[in-house]
Structure 1
Amino acid sequence: MSTPVLPLLGRSLAAGGVAGLATGLFSLLLAEPLMDRAIRLEEARSAKEHAHDAAGTAVQHHEELFSRSTQHFGLVVTAVVAGLALGVLFAVAYALVHRRTAPGDRPWSRALVFCSAAFVAVSLLPGLRYPANPPGVGDSGTVTDRQSLWLAAVVIGILGMLLAWQVYVRLADRSVPVRQVAVAVTAVATLAVLFALPGNPDEVPVAATLLWDFRVLSLGSHALLWAVFAGVFGALGLRAAARSAPAATVPAVGVTA
């Protein structure tokens, strides 16, 4: 039986919205203090570098277009919107991979495996090559180059994960250790291709402790996003499977004469 599209999209949108909200709150409570510190450090560094330009010229003060509280609210809203968009993409990818459902399907296991693979392909592998940097770090003239490199890393991660899945499927007649070793070799090859990409074109003039904490929290937010997504999507899949399961037949009670 083919996978119904609309219920799948509804579950994926619900999972994306909840996951985006959880990630936005996580970033607001834990990552935003680090971002504030990074912004203050960047502003101080920029002011020091351009202090000599202020001599003999009128210094102009620019107010923030949005207050920090408004930016914090926007962070959560943006995270929810991004989660919904992710839900649409996830539904399309899930429908392409799992085109048919069978009576023995396990929606919970499928959700966990699929989201784990998505986390590795979209978040972990690209993040190993290009770790997240605090806001304000980097030359504005290299934004396009950095975005292109990140997009290339994501594409390579997705293709590497698809290749690993194909290798595992095509070696179905081999023993489990052979299949696992083949997948591990594919993952190592994907990492090799990733690290063949050019490095970050900008320096990161941030304290090592602050940079490490920010990168750990960034990766943690990605892990939380996919974990919550998997949990909600899997739970809704179990609920849908229970509703569509045929009702158990009640045996007729014989009447003795």
Structure 2
Amino acid sequence: MNSAIVRALLVRGMLAGLGAALPALIFAYLVGEGPVDAAIAFESAHAGGHGEEELVSRTVQSTAGLATGVLVFGVAIGGIAALAFCFALGRVGRFSARATAALTALAAFLLVYLVPMLKYPANPPAVGNPDTIGKRTTLFFLMIVLTVLLGIAAVLLGRRLAPRWGNWNASVAAGAAFVAAVTIAAVILPSGENTPHGFPANDLWEFRLASIGMQAVLWAGFGLLFGHLAERVLEPRTATATPSRTPTPVA
């Protein structure tokens, strides 16, 4: 794949990420802001009136701040996912551009978000000890790196076993090896749980479901949009001239 095509796909990946971020933003605002407000109220109630003064108002945080964060994140992950698509195209099977884009989005959702979140679940912004945020962030990104590397290793293992075991058996074996390796990594890594005692479990559960839902909307939208755009780059439709027909004279 030459550099011009990679560049075109990169730009379209960023555009697809931006487009996918719009419904994710709406979902985050409608579903996720309620649990965040509940977490802030909990923190304020337990601060005894000595909470730090907000540099940015809650209204700005929940509107312009949320929009900026989600849209910038969408553009960034769109570009990264487009590069991953360029690497995966033709290497994971004889899939079309749309199918490869869908598989790339699904793999990104699982490896970059869902699997690491099982070890280090999302917490509302106001929840947790601020002194440990650096450690928790480091552990979360370490889990992402390990999950991505183990996912790539599982794909390579499946491709290596496929000629001898068949595609189905090789896929099952590679998937089982991935689950086992991720489980071992999750057991070895330290816990990052830092939810304060007495925090409402219902609010925490709703926030985590909202977080999963937002990521699912984002990656599903990216897979659909980028698949369409990538197909137009890689499989352009060539216009074929339709031969004119000479009317047959009626006797």
- Structures share a fold, TM > 0.5? yes
Greater mean deviation of Cα atoms: 192-201 or 25-34: 192-201
Q: Give the count of matched residue pairs.
A: 241
| Equivalent position to 1:199, from 181, 191, 202 | 191
C-alpha displacement at 1:37, in angstroms? 0.8
> Which segment drifts farther, 24-33 or 199-208?
199-208
Following superposition, the deviation at residue 241 of structure 1 comes to 4.3
Matched, 1:88 2:89: no
Q: What's the counterpart of residue 22 of structure 1?
A: 23
Query: Relative to 1, partners in 2 of residues 1:209 and 1:67: Cα closer, same or farther, differing over 3 Å?
Result: same
Bigger shift: 125-134 or 244-253? 244-253
1:31–1:218: 8 Å Cα contact kept in structure 2? yes
Residue in structure 1 matched with residue 35 of structure 2 by the alignment? 34
Cα-to-partner distance string for 1:186-226 (whole Å, 9 max, x where unaligned): 22123221232100152433211111111111111111111
What do the CA deviations read for 1:155-190 (whole angstroms, capped 9, x no partner)?
A: 011011111111222223122331122122122123
**Which amino acid is the alignment partner of residue 16 of structure 1?**
G
Does 2:154 align with 1:153? no
Cα offset, 1:154, TM superposition = 0.4
Corresponding residue for residue 143 of structure 1: 133
State the match for 1:108 in structure 2.
98
- Choose the corresponding residue for 1:212, options 187, 205, 217: 205
Match of 1:163 in 2: 153
Letter matched to residue 178 of structure 1: N
User: Residues 85 and 101 of structure 2 are in contact (CA less than 8 Å); yes or no, is this contact kept in structure 1?
Assistant: no
Match of 1:54 in 2: none
SS at match of 1:20: helix
Structure 1: unaligned runs, 5 residues or longer: 52-59
Question: How many Å apart are 1:61 and its aligned residue?
Answer: 8.1
Answer yes or no: is the 8 Å Cα contact 1:115–1:229 preserved in 2: yes
Is residue 93 of structure 2 the alignment partner of residue 97 of structure 1? Answer: no
> Superposed, which structure 2 residues align to 1:242-257 within 5 Å?
242=235, 244-248=236-240, 250=242
Q: CA deviation at 1:251?
A: 5.4
In structure 1, the partner of 2:181 is 190
Q: TM-score, normalised by structure 1?
A: 0.84
Partner SS for 2:175: helix
Q: Give the whole-Å Cα distance in 2 for the aligned partners of 1:186 and 1:249.
A: 53
- The letter for the 2-side match of 1:94 is F
Partner amino acid for 2:79?
V
- Note if contact 1:156-1:190 (Cα within 8 Å) is conserved in structure 2: no
- Which deviations, in whole Å up to 9, do the C-alpha atoms of 1:88-145 show, x marking residues without a partner? 2122222233379xxx851111111111111110011101001101111111111111
Are the counterparts in 2 of residues 120 and 157 from structure 1 also a CA contact under 8 Å? Answer: no
Instruction: Tell me if 1:229 matches 2:230.
Output: no
Q: Which moved more, 1:193-202 or 1:31-40?
A: 193-202
Give the alignment's TM-score, normalised by structure 2. Answer: 0.86
Q: Give the 3-state SS of the residue equivalent to 1:172 in structure 2.
A: helix
Match of 1:56 in 2: none
Whole-angstrom distance in 2 between the partners of 1:214 and 1:12 = 28
**CA offsets 1:230-250 (integer angstroms, 9 cap, x no match):** 0110121233345x2333364
The percent of aligned pairs where both chains have the same amino acid is: 34
Pairing partner for 2:65 from 59, 64, 74? 74
Higher deviation after alignment, 107-116 or 82-91: 82-91
Does the 8 Å CA contact 2:89/2:97 hold for their aligned counterparts?
A: no
